[in-house]
Amino acid sequence: MGQYVFRRLLAIVPTIILVSLFVFFIMRVMPGDVALLMLAGPDSDQNYTEEQLNTVRERLGLNDSLPVQYANWVRDLFVNKGGKSLQTGEPVYDELARRMPLTLQLTITSILLAHVIAIPAGVYSALKRNTTGDYAFRFVSMIGLATPNFWIGILIILVLLKVFDYAIPLAYASPFQDPWKNFQQQVFPTLVLGSALSATVARMTRATMLEVLREDYVRTARAKGLRESRVIMRHVLRNSILPVMTLSALQLGFLISGSVVTERVFSLPGLGRYVVDAIFQRDYIVVQTLVLFFGLAYMLINLATDIAYAVVDPRIRYR
């Protein structure tokens, strides 16, 4: 196991390098000029001279060759807090540290809520296949999959305002400084994301449970007289959970990279909103650094998932 983890960690290095090269050159071929946006503004209605444009580009390092720009960015990743935003001049790592707690809290609470709802619902639906409860579960899960998150979020905000005359607090508050305000800010985005994720996880749980329930060793366990609860928990659920773990890992990576729509609807200053704003502003440094961070997070989550496979299923061994 130790050798496997070491090899996987080594494999992350060339992957990260390829990701960095890819996002660096993609940002350079995108239309738009950050120096032009800074001088002319979003509506391009301000006058500027070519000399002013060249001065801004020189100050931002945009006149350097692409290899020099890439080398400067890689150096900044290690010695200059990820470089400075071209728009605000703030170090990227400082902004990352400010926004990360919100995104992590939203990610963890949404994943927990999704699994608390989804796994029992998926197990029940598989055990009660083609019953009224199963049909009701499948109907609700289809609604959850088909309904956009932004629509649910907007609907919640409108109901709170029109019916209860209540507005969700806007400025983010840490759970350690103001727990009640933090709860008000997090509870509704968590419900929106958690309910949407639970529909996917529940359907996956139901499908894998149905496959395992047809296996011979399950019939053998029942024939030996084991209690039904023991058969379900020890033989069925444990062997059907691996695909669910894979799906959950992908969802976790997605949420860490930021649920952009949900953050925008609820005015949450998270990582997803940060990277989208940077893309519109052509803030190359911010986009490159955050995409690299998201890629690293995905790879580490996948590694942790592979290790968890061996814990859940003893038949799996890594060498």
pLDDT in tens, 43-53: 555 666 777 77
42 confidence band (pLDDT: 50, 70, 90) = low
Where b means 16+ CB within 10 Å and e means fewer, 248-266 reads: bbebbbbbbbbbbbbbbbb
Which amino acid appears at position 316 of this protein? Answer: I
Strand-pair partners of 84:
91
> Which pLDDT score, from 0 to 100, does residue 286 have?
87
Residues 6+ apart with CB under 8 A from 37: 281, 282
Query: Is there a contact between 107 and 255 (Cβ–Cβ < 8 Å)?
Result: yes
Which amino acid appears at position 46 of this protein? Answer: Q
CATH number of 92-312: 1.10.3720.10
> Which pLDDT score, from 0 to 100, does residue 258 have?
56
User: Residue 285 in 3-state DSSP?
Assistant: helix
Length of the chain: 319
Write out pLDDT tens, residues 196-230. Answer: 888 888 888 888 888 888 888 888 888 888 888 88
The tokens for 300 are 């580490």
What's the whole-number average pLDDT of the chain?
A: 82
Average pLDDT over every residue of 81-100: 84
Least confident of 45-49, 85-89, 173-177: 45-49
Q: Between these two residues, 202 and 88, which has the higher pLDDT value? A: 202
> Which pLDDT score, from 0 to 100, does residue 58 have?
79
Measured in whole angstroms, the distance separating CA 177 from the mean position of its chain's CA atoms is 25
> Which pLDDT score, from 0 to 100, does residue 96 have?
87
User: Residue 91 in 3-state DSSP?
Assistant: strand
Report the half-sphere exposure of 55 (CA within 13 A, side-chain side). 6
